[in-house]
């Protein structure tokens, strides 16, 4: 029986969806504070939605970023944005799920 279709004659079925992984990589991302758009951090704080850092890490912030060093990849990307980058949107956050 497929989990996407109800069993014939039963009248009901269950749709089983995999839970998405919100953190990926080799674990090094867990040791750093990451750059994230400030408005995204605020939205995450209000509704618990995951954020995406400049380096690509996806997670729900929850820890004090001041306790962690800045992610070298985020820092490099942020600095490469230069004066043309949207600096008010670059927030530092070290939240971990």
pLDDT in tens, 23-49: 444 455 578 999 999 899 999 989 999
Task: Give the residue among 80, 19, 94, 17 at the shortest CA–CA distance from 51.
Answer: 94
List of residues 6+ apart from 51 with CB closer than 8 A: 36, 37, 40, 41, 44, 58, 59, 60, 61, 93, 95
Return the pLDDT at 90.
Answer: 46
What is the rounded CA–CA span in Å between residue 35 and residue 25?
Answer: 17
Q: Which residues of the chain have pLDDT under 50?
A: 1-2, 23-26, 85-90, 95-97
CA–CA separation, 25 and 58 (whole Å): 10
Give the per-residue pLDDT at 9: 56
Contact predicate 24/59, CB 8 Å: no
């Amino acid at each position: 029986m497929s989990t996407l279709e109800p069993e014939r004659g039963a009248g009901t079925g269950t749709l089983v969806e995999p839970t998405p992984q919100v953190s990926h990589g080799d674990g090094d991302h867990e040791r750093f504070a990451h750059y994230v758009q400030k408005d995204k951090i605020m939205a995450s704080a209000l509704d618990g939605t995951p954020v995406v850092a400049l380096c690509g890490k996806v997670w729900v912030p929850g820890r004090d970023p001041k306790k962690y060093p800045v992610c070298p990849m985020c820092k490099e990307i942020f600095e490469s944005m230069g004066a043309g980058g949207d600096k008010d949107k670059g927030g530092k956050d070290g939240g971990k799920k």
